[in-house]
Amino acid sequence: MTVAIVDMERCMGCGLCVDLCPYKGATIIKEWKSRINETICRGCGVCTGICPSSALNMKYLTNRQILARVRVLLKTTRAGEVFEPKILILICDWLSRKGANLSDVSRVQHSSNVRATKFPCIGAIDPMFIFDALLSGADGVLVAGCGVKDCDHIDGNINTESRIKHAKMCLKDLGIGSERLRFELIPLSAARAKFIEAVREIIETVKSLGPNILQR
């Protein structure tokens, strides 16, 4: 199982990882640096998603690897005569395994340019992944996590909401449009239907907005 690791040179000792770790696996040592207890860590990635100095990474899924994966995925999209929105889905692995089947996306109209990548929990999603995706060709981003009471990592899904709200505010202020970012907490009891509904809605929204202004 993958665990979080700390880059001691980057760590500022802010303590956010200590406050938000669902499993209380992070502590601050006397040098004012974070330490992850690998016997407690469950690999949810919540600490990596909130670290302001990018000092925390997953051992086998670093932030750099995630950014590279997203850029490769977006390069596989194609521009045609008719605008087909390039949508990136950042989805919780648990949600995907419990009914939000990515193979169903192809049934949605105008979904030829929809791409997806999984996270151990949406709590692991750093806003920089969203901004980088929009800079790398995405017209919209859908963040899909488990319902409020369904998170496999206690409350990693809820911890993400404030970051997404802040990201949406930034997109609005930059003139890109907050509507290009959609956040959905999907109940596992209706995962398949609600996921497809969310995909359909962001495609329709972005199609009405037109191409991302960063790509014009």
| Residue 153, helix vs strand vs coil | coil
Which helix (H) or strand (E) is 91 found in, with range? strand 87-92
Report the pLDDT value the prediction gives residue 216, as an integer from 0 to 100.
47
Residue 140 CB coordination number (10 Å): 24
pLDDT of residue 1: 66
What is the distance between the alpha carbons of residues 26 and 4, in angstroms, rounded to a whole number? 10
The reported pTM is: 0.94
Tell me whether the CATH fold assigned to 4-58 matches the one assigned to 81-215: no
**Fold that domain 4-58 belongs to in CATH:** Alpha-Beta Plaits (3.30.70)
Question: Is the domain 81-215 a CATH 3.40.50.360 member?
Answer: no
| φ/ψ (deg, to 5) at 117 | -140, 145
Q: Which helix (DSSP H) or strand (DSSP E) does residue 125 occupy?
A: none
Task: Walk along the chain (216 residues) and give the pLDDT tens digit of each residue.
Answer: 689 999 999 999 999 999 999 999 999 998 899 999 999 999 999 999 999 999 999 999 999 999 999 999 999 998 888 899 999 999 999 999 999 999 999 999 999 999 999 999 999 999 999 999 999 999 999 999 999 999 999 999 998 999 999 999 999 999 999 999 999 999 999 999 999 999 999 999 999 999 998 864
Helix (H) / strand (E) containing 26: strand 26-29
Domain-by-domain residue ranges, the chain?
Answer: 4-58, 81-215
